[in-house]
Structure 1
Amino acid sequence: MIVDLPDTTVSKISKALVKIREEGGAVALGRVLTLVISTSLGAEEEAIEAANEASREHPMRVIVVSTRPNGEAATEEARVDAQIRVGGDAGASEVIVLKAYGDAASDEEGLVTGLLLSDAPVVAWWPGVAPAVPATSPLGRIAQRRITDASAQPNPQEALRHLAATYAPGDTDFAWTRLTLWRAQLAAVLDQPPYETVEAVEVSGAVDSPSTTLLAAWLQLQLEVPVQYDLTNHSTGSSGIHGVQLKRASGLIKLERPIPNVATLEQPNQPTHDLSLPRRNLRDCLAEELRRLDPDDLYGEVITRGLDQLTASDR
């Protein structure tokens, strides 16, 4: 069910939620958190779809705040148009879409405060351009977890360095979440005999792939050996992470992804294996990040310490 509330207020939206709950039987008792999504007008649906899919694992209230980017709404009359989605139109969540215009867009925190679930954790997500300092932004101040996406920024590598400089416990980024399958596979390989020390590491990927840089930083931090990473343009390779080479006394371990979704694992004295290693979509990344509401200490270490220890072969 979808209910439109043009030119409305937070109070009217709250009353409409109560009415929908009483008439339709939709309840908020099973909601475990509030997810606040900050996005640009017209760019809401992809994020809402990902949240609806993730809500089947994490029942929640979703509040979407849509504004014009970079203060473009300054000349518009102040107004908030709202839409409430429940039932089949909202997965296992309640979705409240707030489209703010003019001066109404300048107070994001005020727009959502009266709609938060009582005594439930708050997670803020910026699927597009992130604020300069997520932790001190209007929405970041009220959130236990703050999710950004460096790959969605104009300069992903520069955005990664900026995230390192402004990091606060509770911050995370989808560039890190997209590494989960790579990290698990590499850990599994090193957990098998022969248990030799890794002497050097090479990581390669696309120049606009912040995940490649974070993977190199994680390996540098965990293995404490020289790590080089090579970033190439799309014309010379696919997007995302291309591969990892681990040098040991017995030879090279190569985990490479020459085509989307399938990686090749080569190890000394063993047959070559093809492995499923898909690029993770928004739903998978969001669902994983919502599984924990405490700070991700490992991400904090990697982005604040690991990045500084890298030796780049191509910057």
Structure 2
Amino acid sequence: MKIDLTDTTSSKINKALVQGRRAIGTPAVGMVLTLVIVTDEENAYDALKAANDASREHPSRKLVVVKRISRSARDRAQARLDAEVRVGTDAGTGETVVLRLYGEVMDHAQSVVLPLLLPDAPVVVWWPVNAPVNPAKDALGRLAQRRVTDTYAAEHPVQELTARADAYTPGDTDLSWTRITPWRSMVAAALDQVDCSVTSVEVEGEEHNPSGELLAMWLANRLRVPVRRSVSAGPGLTAVRMETTCGPITLDRADGALATLSIQGQPDRAVALKRRETSELIAEELRRLDPDDTYASALKFGVHRLGEAKSSLPPLPTREAGSSEHAPAHPVTPASMPVKKAASK
């Protein structure tokens, strides 16, 4: 069911949501969060489709904020809010409200969104494109427990990582980091099968691919060894090669779907490592609403430090009296290379 509202208010939108639920006989209970999608008209359809697919796992109220740039001075001066309310099969699992902001309303998007948030439920803000430099200080970002960006959509993706590191606030995350979760899992699993130390690493992938840089920074940060970033034709990440005291370990994916894991002294194994859709990435991010400390640690390591010798890297923090945290020691195992874990919604 769809309800179109022209030159409306947040109050009228809430009434339309209640009207729609009553018309189809669906209660508001069962939604676990509010997902705010901030995008432009060009990317709104794809972003909403991905969010609807992810809502099968995470029933939610989806608020799509589209800022419409008017060409004429008269239209720019006219403040207006149009909305499209979707419930039932048109909204995936949950509810959807597409908000189109005109004129001065664009500068006060938080005032439009705030009355539409689900009460007593987490808020996640996602920028598929054109993310702010500091998401935590953005007017809409301040409303959220989690803020999701996508560095891959930036004009200069690798340079954008430095800006993300400088502005990082607990609760920030990026889909370029989410894309490498399977790679981190496989690398950790491979190191769990050997009893040796890693001496150097090479991460191979497309040029200007921020996921490749993040994977390299994560490995350098956790292993404290030189990590070299090499360029391939893709698609995406294509290989991770680790030199160890027991021989080479290679995870090679040439076609973007199936990878080969090679460990010295063991037969080669084929492992599924396909490139995932945006809906799968968003669904993974919505599984955890706490700060991702592993992402923060890798991000702040810095692109410029890749390839540095082990001796030039700062020492890992030592255990303090009464502290349950400890620094990883060689040989490195999955216990010292944490992979993103699921958390309660």
Q: Please, what TM-score do these two structures have when normalized by structure 2? A: 0.85
Report the 3-state secondary structure (helix = DSSP H, G, I; strand = E; otherwise coil) of the residue aligned with 1:47. helix
CA contact (8 A) 1:202 1:245 kept: yes
CA offsets 1:140-174 (integer angstroms, 9 cap, x no match):
01100000000011111011111011100000000
Other-structure match for 1:61? 61
Q: Supply the distance in 2 between the matched residues of 1:49 and 1:27 (Cα, whole angstroms).
A: 23
CA contact (8 A) 2:162 2:302 kept: no
**Superposition map of 1:89-238 within 5 A:** 89-193=90-194, 195-230=195-230, 232=231, 237-238=233-234
Q: Supply the distance in 2 between the matched residues of 1:55 and 1:278 (Cα, whole angstroms).
A: 22
**Superposition map of 1:293-304 within 5 A:** 293-304=289-300
Report the 3-state secondary structure (helix = DSSP H, G, I; strand = E; otherwise coil) of the residue aligned with 2:34. strand
- Change in Cα spacing, 1:119 to 1:172, as seen in structure 2 (3 Å) is same
CA shift, 1:308, in A, is: 5.6
Q: Supply the distance in 1 between the matched residues of 2:93 and 2:159 (Cα, whole angstroms).
A: 37
Other-structure match for 1:284? 280
CA contact (8 A) 1:218 1:306 kept: no
Aligned partner (choices 249, 252, 255) of residue 253 of structure 1:
249
- Change in Cα spacing, 1:177 to 1:40, as seen in structure 2 (3 Å) is same
Q: Supply the distance in 1 between the matched residues of 2:92 and 2:50 (Cα, whole angstroms).
A: 10
CA offsets 1:255-309 (integer angstroms, 9 cap, x no match):
1111121112222122222221111211111001001111111111111135464
Q: Supply the distance in 1 between the matched residues of 2:68 and 2:4 (Cα, whole angstroms).
A: 20
Aligned residue pairs total: 307
CA offsets 1:8-56 (integer angstroms, 9 cap, x no match):
1111111111222233222222111100000002321111111111111
Between stretches 262-271 and 145-154, larger displacement belongs to 262-271
Q: Supply the distance in 2 between the matched residues of 1:139 and 1:45 (Cα, whole angstroms).
A: 20
The percent identity for this pair of structures is 47
Note if 1:7 corresponds to 2:3. Answer: no
CA contact (8 A) 1:209 1:239 kept: no
Other-structure match for 1:29? 29
CA offsets 1:89-112 (integer angstroms, 9 cap, x no match):
111120000011122212111110
**Superposition map of 1:32-43 within 5 A:** 32-43=32-43
Other-structure match for 2:330? none
Runs of 4+ in 1 over 3 A off after TM superposition: 71-75, 306-309
User: Amino acid of the residue matched to residue 47 of structure 2?
Assistant: A
CA contact (8 A) 1:73 1:101 kept: no
CA contact (8 A) 1:73 1:102 kept: no
CA contact (8 A) 1:202 1:228 kept: yes
CA offsets 1:198-223 (integer angstroms, 9 cap, x no match):
11111111112100000001111111
Report the 3-state secondary structure (helix = DSSP H, G, I; strand = E; otherwise coil) of the residue aligned with 1:51. helix
CA contact (8 A) 2:17 2:87 kept: no
Report the 3-state secondary structure (helix = DSSP H, G, I; strand = E; otherwise coil) of the residue aligned with 1:114. helix
CA contact (8 A) 1:203 1:243 kept: yes
Other-structure match for 1:305? 301
User: Amino acid of the residue matched to residue 186 of structure 2?
Assistant: Q
Q: Supply the distance in 2 between the matched residues of 1:217 and 1:268 (Cα, whole angstroms).
A: 25
Report the 3-state secondary structure (helix = DSSP H, G, I; strand = E; otherwise coil) of the residue aligned with 2:229. strand
Q: Supply the distance in 1 between the matched residues of 2:152 and 2:163 (Cα, whole angstroms).
A: 13
CA offsets 1:70-95 (integer angstroms, 9 cap, x no match):
x9787533221111111111111200
Where in structure 1 are there 5+ consecutive unaligned residues? none
The alignment's C-alpha RMSD in Å is 1.8
Other-structure match for 2:336? none
Q: Supply the distance in 2 between the matched residues of 1:203 and 1:16 (Cα, whole angstroms).
A: 51
CA contact (8 A) 1:56 1:91 kept: yes
Q: Supply the distance in 2 between the matched residues of 1:198 and 1:136 (Cα, whole angstroms).
A: 40
Q: Please, what TM-score do these two structures have when normalized by structure 1? A: 0.93
- Change in Cα spacing, 1:73 to 1:26, as seen in structure 2 (3 Å) is farther
Q: Supply the distance in 1 between the matched residues of 2:24 and 2:109 (Cα, whole angstroms).
A: 29
